[in-house]
């Protein structure tokens, strides 16, 4: 790293890092056993929350320079926040990580390829839903035209890293451009109206996973919700926030707050753990912005994961049924650690008649997906996934249930990697619930 960069980063660490929060870590180490990168790096403190906080503090204190290794330590973090619920001191690690990454990325020239990749994802693609639609439909074209088959046959894919190659195989069959572009935005409940909610459709969820979004709407209708989908909404900004692009994230947040505050609603429903946890934190993100702080608070207070609202509306008491099989659940880190939602999915899954719910060991440990981490830090990501697959296989489950698109793709990759695709499937929880609900009725 260049001297001038280091100097700039150091100075901004001193100006911007929350020093009280850094001091709040009393270094007891209770976080260590929950940190996937600490475990997978064979107990390397550089890859533990305690170690990373110590490094951040040392940069502020001027004890060490923010060199490549410090950056490496921060890059290696999945941001799964599994350290937060186990921290007796209540250190807000996720916020510290975001602050530090933001400072480093705003002041450091990263490697051209990483920079290109980030720029493409963070600035060119995710913020623009139209481009998402175009990009996804390109993928659809690739899948449907037979190009996919050809590409696989001639081995173009071999040029790509393992993780991307496996990912390419497991991407869902995407909807057509027309379907993505022209959709209804207002739905009535099937029976008596219990709540009026707005649906946060997300960028990836509303393109590549449009089917899952449709299932979500149906479930909400069955549960007694009137649903609106504000069309001015944008990507939640989580990828930007976690990837060191805080300003861009704030921009997305403001667009969303504006889009939703016009609606008179009880809740804002999300069905992607990663998005939900970031949305629920908008009040933190905009706390220093006078004009937006209050509005952000109001917005954040309405965020609810779909499983929470389903349990609240007693959807688990509805008749739900599947064939006789074992199902297991992989927590979305952000749903669990960010939104503190982990009982609700289990309540719903356990209530499905016919299926047997088996908890996998360390279900709360990250699957290694973590935004675009599995592309940027492919090796560590695969190591974490291997452990996850071992636990999955041990449950003998035929269906692995997830609650976030990243986790879903990652678990599908894991299944593919293990050569289990003819025996095990990974599904989003709403798709499985709809299947179980409709199973009874048809």
Partner 1 sequence: MLPDEFKTKLVHIVGAENVADSNASKLVYSFDATPQFQSTPDGVVSPRNTEEVASIVKLCNEYRIPIVPRGSGSNLSAGTTPTEGGIVLLFKHMNNILEVDQENLTVTTQPGVITQQLMEAVEEKGLFYPPDPSSMKISQIGGNINENSGGLRGLKYGVTRDYVMGLEVVLPNGDIIRTGGKLAKDVAGYDLTRLFVGSEGTLGIVTEATLKLLPMPEEKQTILALYEDLEAAARTVSQIISNRIIPATLEFLDQSTLQVVEDFSKIGLPTHVKAVLLIEQDGNKETVENDMKKIMDICRENDAVEVNSAKSVAEAEALRTARRAALSALARLKPTTILEDATVPRSNIAKMVAAINTIANKYELDICTFGHAGDGNLHPTCLTDVRNKEEIARVEHAFEEIFAVAVELGGTITGEHGVGAMKAPYLHWKLGEEGVSAMLNVKKAFDPNNIMNPGKVFAKSERKRVVVTR
Stretch that binds partner 1, among 55-63, 198-206, 271-279, 320-328 (CB under 8 A): 55-63
* Helix 93-107 × helix 68-76 angle, to 10°: 130
Nearest by Cα to 106 from 219, 207, 8, 1: 8
Rounded Cα distance, 271 and 335, in Å: 9
DSSP per-residue string spanning 138-181: HHHHHHHSSHHHHHHHHTGGGGS-HHHHHHHHH---PPPHHHHH
Which two structure tokens, joined as six digits, stand for 412? 């599908």
For the segment 5-44, give every residue that binds partner 1 (CB under 8 A).
20, 23-24, 26-30, 32-33, 42-44
Q: What's the min distance (Å) between Cβ of 135 and partner 1? A: 38
Under 8 Å between Cβ of 391 and 360: yes
Nearest by Cα to 281 from 104, 33, 73, 84: 84
Rounded Cα distance, 365 and 384, in Å: 9
Determine which residue in the list 1, 58, 117, 393 makes contact with partner 1, applying CB under 8 A.
58
* Helix 429-441 × helix 343-350 angle, to 10°: 30
For the segment 193-222, give every residue that binds partner 1 (CB under 8 A).
none
Of residues 67 and 191, the one with the C-beta less far from partner 1: 67
User: What is the torsion angle, in degrees rounded to the nearest 10, for the CA atoms of residue 380, residue 384, residue 385 and residue 387?
Assistant: 140
Stretch that binds partner 1, among 48-56, 192-200, 286-294, 404-412 (CB under 8 A): 48-56
Strand partners, 197: 227, 267
Q: What's the min distance (Å) between Cβ of 65 and partner 1? A: 7
Which two structure tokens, joined as six digits, stand for 177? 């451009």
Helix (H, G, I), strand (E, B) or coil at 325: strand
> CA 231, 431, 174: angle at the middle one, nearest 5?
60
Under 8 Å between Cβ of 100 and 246: no
Q: What's the min distance (Å) between Cβ of 56 and partner 1? A: 11
Strand partners, 304: 269
Stretch that binds partner 1, among 67-75, 254-262, 270-278, 425-433 (CB under 8 A): 67-75
Site string for partner 1, 241-270 (x = CB under 8 A): ------------------------------
Q: What's the min distance (Å) between Cβ of 205 and partner 1? A: 31
Determine which residue in the list 67, 231, 314, 323 makes contact with partner 1, applying CB under 8 A.
67
Determine which residue in the list 46, 169, 255, 390 makes contact with partner 1, applying CB under 8 A.
46
Stretch that binds partner 1, among 51-59, 118-126, 192-200, 216-224 (CB under 8 A): 51-59
Radius of gyration of the chain (CA): 22
Of residues 148 and 383, the one with the C-beta less far from partner 1: 383
Rounded Cα distance, 77 and 83, in Å: 11
Q: What's the min distance (Å) between Cβ of 103 and partner 1? A: 17
48 binds partner 1 (CB under 8 A): yes
Of residues 68 and 262, the one with the C-beta less far from partner 1: 68
Of residues 70 and 303, the one with the C-beta less far from partner 1: 70
Site string for partner 1, 402-441 (x = CB under 8 A): ----------------------------------------
The residue count of the chain comes to 442
For the segment 80-139, give every residue that binds partner 1 (CB under 8 A).
87-90
Which two structure tokens, joined as six digits, stand for 420? 């289990």
Of residues 150 and 343, the one with the C-beta less far from partner 1: 343
300 binds partner 1 (CB under 8 A): no
Extended beta strands in 212-315, E state: 225-228, 267-270, 303-305
Region for 274 from its dihedrals, namely left if φ exceeds 0, alpha if ψ lies in -120 to 50, beta otherwise: alpha
Determine which residue in the list 9, 17, 60, 70 makes contact with partner 1, applying CB under 8 A.
70
Rounded Cα distance, 75 and 68, in Å: 10
Of residues 32 and 372, the one with the C-beta less far from partner 1: 32
Q: What's the min distance (Å) between Cβ of 118 and partner 1? A: 23
Q: What's the min distance (Å) between Cβ of 86 and partner 1? A: 9
Nearest by Cα to 95 from 273, 229, 281, 305: 281
Spatial strand order in the sheet of 321-329: 353-357, 321-329, 399-402, 425-428
Of residues 22 and 424, the one with the C-beta less far from partner 1: 22
Stretch that binds partner 1, among 9-17, 59-67, 95-103, 331-339 (CB under 8 A): 59-67
3 binds partner 1 (CB under 8 A): no
**How many residues bind to partner 1 according to rule CB under 8 A?**
33
In the complex, the residues that contact partner 1 under the rule CB under 8 A are 20, 23-24, 26-30, 32-33, 42-46, 48, 50-51, 54-55, 58, 63-65, 67, 69-70, 72-73, 87-90
């Amino acid at each position: 790293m260049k001297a001038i960069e280091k100097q700039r980063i150091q100075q901004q660490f001193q100006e911007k890092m929350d020093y009280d929060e850094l001091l709040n870590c009393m270094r007891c180490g209770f976080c260590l056993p929950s940190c996937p990168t600490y475990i997978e790096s064979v107990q390397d403190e550089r890859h533990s929350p305690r170690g990373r906080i110590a490094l951040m503090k040392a940069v502020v204190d001027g004890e060490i320079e923010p060199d490549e290794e410090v950056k490496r330590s921060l890059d290696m973090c999945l941001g799964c926040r599994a350290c937060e619920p186990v921290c007796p001191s209540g250190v807000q690690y996720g916020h510290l990580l975001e602050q530090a990454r933001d400072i480093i990325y705003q002041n450091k020239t990263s490697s051209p390829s990483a920079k290109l990749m980030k720029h493409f994802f963070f600035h060119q693609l995710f913020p623009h839903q139209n481009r998402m639609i175009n990009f996804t439909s390109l993928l659809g074209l690739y899948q449907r035209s037979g190009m996919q088959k050809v590409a696989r046959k001639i081995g173009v894919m071999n040029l790509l890293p393992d993780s991307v190659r496996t990912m390419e195989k497991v991407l869902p069959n995407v909807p057509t451009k027309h379907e993505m572009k022209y959709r209804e935005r207002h739905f009535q409940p099937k029976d008596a109206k219990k709540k009026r909610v707005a649906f946060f459709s997300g960028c990836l969820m509303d393109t590549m996973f449009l089917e899952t979004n449709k299932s979500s709407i149906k479930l909400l209708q069955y549960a007694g919700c009137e649903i609106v989908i504000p069309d001015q909404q944008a990507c939640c900004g989580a990828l930007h926030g976690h990837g060191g692009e805080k300003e861009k994230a704030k921009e997305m947040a403001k667009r969303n707050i504006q889009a939703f505050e016009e609606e008179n609603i009880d809740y804002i429903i999300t069905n992607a753990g990663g998005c939900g946890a970031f949305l629920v934190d908008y009040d933190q993100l905009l706390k220093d912005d006078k004009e937006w702080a209050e509005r952000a608070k109001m917005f954040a207070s309405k965020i609810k994961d779909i499983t929470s609202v389903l349990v609240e509306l007693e959807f688990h008491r509805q008749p739900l049924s599947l064939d006789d099989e074992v199902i297991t659940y992989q927590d979305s880190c952000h749903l669990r650690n960010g939104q503190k939602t982990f009982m609700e999915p289990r309540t719903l899954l356990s209530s499905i008649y016919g299926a047997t719910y088996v908890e996998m060991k360390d279900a709360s440990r990250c699957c290694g997906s973590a935004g675009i981490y599995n592309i940027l830090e492919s090796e560590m990501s695969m190591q974490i996934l291997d452990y996850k697959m071992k636990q999955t296989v041990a449950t003998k489950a035929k269906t692995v249930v997830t609650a976030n698109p990243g986790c879903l793709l990652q678990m599908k990759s894991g299944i593919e990697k293990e050569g289990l695709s003819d025996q095990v499937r990974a599904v989003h929880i709403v798709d499985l619930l709809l299947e179980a609900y409709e199973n009874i009725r048809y």
